[in-house]
């Protein structure tokens, strides 16, 4: 089923006209409503009259994660906070997190794109959908929720965790669709077997998996183990959360809702457009958002885009799986973690040296484990075990409150973490996806 056939199957010219109209309105809107952007546009010599068509987008300035941080919490909003209906927050690089605000219309837009996504994966009205992404400040749970509501599904709003309960309700209620991170699906597999369930006999027939990178090998593993279709969903809080793009049953790239989120692929060093079909940094302009519309937001995700029509009938451009990042962000259990955040925490604690390494592993069960190896100062290292234990717990608590995840802290002797003359290798990612 195609949720919005008129838009999703629109001819290229017509789509381009729609995008052009929307971009013109957007630039005027931002110019009139956001002083930070107005200043930036003025500095680039751009006013509302400078934009005649979507092709002029290349003349607009980029927006970066640093812009989000520097304008914390609300200075990039184009509406007063009193007109914002909902706020979500995701990790920033250091210090301040990234804050986004949705007006009522923005929430309608989010519902629309996620409804398109669920339908694109094969969902239809009346399907029961188990949402096992976290509900709360993370956009996964509520995003899927709004889309499922719009499509007319029966929602099981589980949030993440409580694996036994997830499996029990799946067995008792027989939902057809499962939404969670792909690694959680593998984790649930072990638990299901332990509970004596036959995963291939599960009621889940469609999976909507995303929020972290995963490979086609992992897809095959999930599909075979659970006997379901596993599709990829992509999104980021800054643009709207999940629903920016989604795979159809043909699994040949994620269909981008480009009528509202205009994509570009650029060379991350020069900022110039990459030739069509080549890999580069993905950039989005939110064409119709009101709360926090963004011009040419640099996602730091590396992808390529295919503009050919898909066999499913949709004309929307399709993005490849995310091949990597232009920064050092890692995703652990669906949570974005920047080494710089960890460094910030460590350096605020007495006795800790600025030498650390992050080891990420995928446990046999399928979940990610993060170990932070830290050098501590000589006098501390020779201290009694109790002192060391307290210090460890303090670091773990701080990490939990800043990152929102449990990390294992391991102290190593001074001067044992490899020093580097160039870029320090902070992350050792042992996961094979």
* Contacts to ligand DLL by CB under 6 A: 90, 133, 139-140, 210-213, 232-237, 241-242, 299, 301, 322, 331, 336
Q: Which is nearer to ligand DLL, 210 or 317 (CB)?
A: 210
Q: Which is nearer to ligand DLL, 3 or 338 (CB)?
A: 338
**Distance (Å, rounded) from C-alpha 388 to C-alpha 383?**
7
Nearest to 409 by CA among 393, 424, 425, 430: 393
Question: Could you tell me which residues are beta bridge partners of residue 306?
Answer: 318
Nearest approach in angstroms of CB 401 to ligand DLL is 18
**Distance (Å, rounded) from C-alpha 84 to C-alpha 90?**
17
Q: Looking at beta carbons, which residue is closest to ligand DLL?
A: 210
The residue written with tokens 């011009």 in the block is 295
Please provide residue 212's backbone torsions phi and psi, each rounded to the nearest 5 degrees: -155, 155
Nearest approach in angstroms of CB 296 to ligand DLL is 15
Q: Which is nearer to ligand DLL, 46 or 335 (CB)?
A: 335
Nearest approach in angstroms of CB 179 to ligand DLL is 8
Nearest approach in angstroms of CB 210 to ligand DLL is 3
Nearest approach in angstroms of CB 425 to ligand DLL is 20
Nearest approach in angstroms of CB 261 to ligand DLL is 13
Q: Which is nearer to ligand DLL, 241 or 263 (CB)?
A: 241
Euclidean distance between the first and the last CA atom of the chain, given in angstroms as a whole number: 30
Nearest approach in angstroms of CB 301 to ligand DLL is 5
Q: Which is nearer to ligand DLL, 184 or 226 (CB)?
A: 184
Q: Which is nearer to ligand DLL, 241 or 351 (CB)?
A: 241
Nearest approach in angstroms of CB 221 to ligand DLL is 16
Q: Which is nearer to ligand DLL, 140 or 199 (CB)?
A: 140
The DSSP secondary-structure symbol of 19 reads H
Q: Which is nearer to ligand DLL, 117 or 374 (CB)?
A: 117
Burial of 105 (0-12, 13-18, 19+ CB in 10 A): middle
Who's near 333: CB < 8 A, 6+ residues apart? 181, 183, 184, 367, 368, 405
DSSP string, 85-135: -EEEEE--SSSSPEEEEE-HHHHHHHHHHHHHHHHHHT--TT-EEEE-SPP
Contact, 180 vs 209, CB < 8 A? yes
Contact, 177 vs 147, CB < 8 A? no
Q: Which is nearer to ligand DLL, 199 or 404 (CB)?
A: 404
**Distance (Å, rounded) from C-alpha 63 to C-alpha 100?**
14
Q: What's the token pair of residue 376?
A: 């501590």
Nearest approach in angstroms of CB 151 to ligand DLL is 16
**Distance (Å, rounded) from C-alpha 292 to C-alpha 295?**
10
């Amino acid at each position: 089923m195609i949720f919005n056939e008129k838009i999703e199957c629109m001819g290229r010219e017509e789509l381009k006209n729609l995008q052009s109209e929307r971009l013109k309105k957007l630039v005027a809107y931002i110019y009139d409503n956001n002083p930070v952007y107005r200043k930036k546009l003025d500095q680039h010599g751009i006013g509302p009259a400078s934009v005649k068509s979507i092709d002029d987008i290349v003349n607009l300035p980029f927006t970066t994660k640093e812009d989000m941080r520097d304008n914390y919490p609300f200075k990039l909003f184009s509406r007063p906070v009193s007109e914002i209906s909902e706020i979500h927050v995701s990790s920033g690089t250091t210090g301040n997190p990234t804050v986004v605000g949705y007006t009522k219309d923005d929430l309608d837009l989010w519902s629309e794109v996620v409804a398109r996504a669920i339908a694109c994966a094969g969902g239809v009205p009346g399907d029961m959908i188990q949402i096992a992404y976290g509900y709360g400040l993370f956009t996964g749970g509520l995003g899927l929720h709004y889309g499922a509501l719009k499509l007319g599904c029966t929602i099981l709003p589980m949030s993440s965790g409580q694996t036994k309960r997830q499996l029990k309700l799946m067995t008792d209620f027989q939902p057809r669709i499962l939404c969670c991170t792909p690694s959680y699906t593998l984790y649930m597999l072990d638990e299901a077997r332990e509970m004596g369930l036959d995963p291939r006999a599960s009621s889940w027939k469609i999976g909507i998996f995303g929020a972290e990178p995963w490979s086609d090998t992992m897809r095959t593993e999930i599909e075979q183990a659970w006997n379901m279709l596993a599709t990829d969903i992509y999104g980021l809080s800054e643009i709207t959360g999940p629903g920016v793009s989604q795979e159809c049953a043909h699994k040949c790239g994620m269909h981008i809702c480009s009528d509202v989120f205009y994509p570009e692929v650029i060379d991350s060093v020069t900022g110039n457009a990459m030739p069509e079909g080549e890999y580069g940094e993905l950039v989005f302009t939110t064409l119709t958002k009101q709360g926090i519309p963004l011009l040419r937001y640099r996602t730091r995700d590396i992808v390529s885009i295919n503009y050919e029509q898909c066999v499913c009938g949709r004309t929307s451009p399709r993005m490849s799986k995310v091949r990597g990042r232009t920064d050092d962000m890692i995703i652990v259990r669906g949570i974005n973690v920047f080494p710089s955040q960890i460094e910030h925490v460590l350096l605020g604690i007495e006795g800790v040296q600025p030498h650390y390494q992050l080891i990420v592993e995928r446990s046999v069960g399928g979940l990610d484990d993060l170990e932070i190896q830290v050098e501590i100062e000589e006098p501390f290292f020779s201290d009694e075990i109790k002192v060391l234990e307290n210090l460890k717990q303090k670091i773990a608590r701080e990490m939990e409150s800043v990152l929102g995840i449990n990390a294992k802290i391991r102290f190593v002797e001074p001067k044992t973490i490899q020093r580097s003359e160039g870029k320090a290798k902070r992350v050792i990612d042992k996961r094979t996806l």
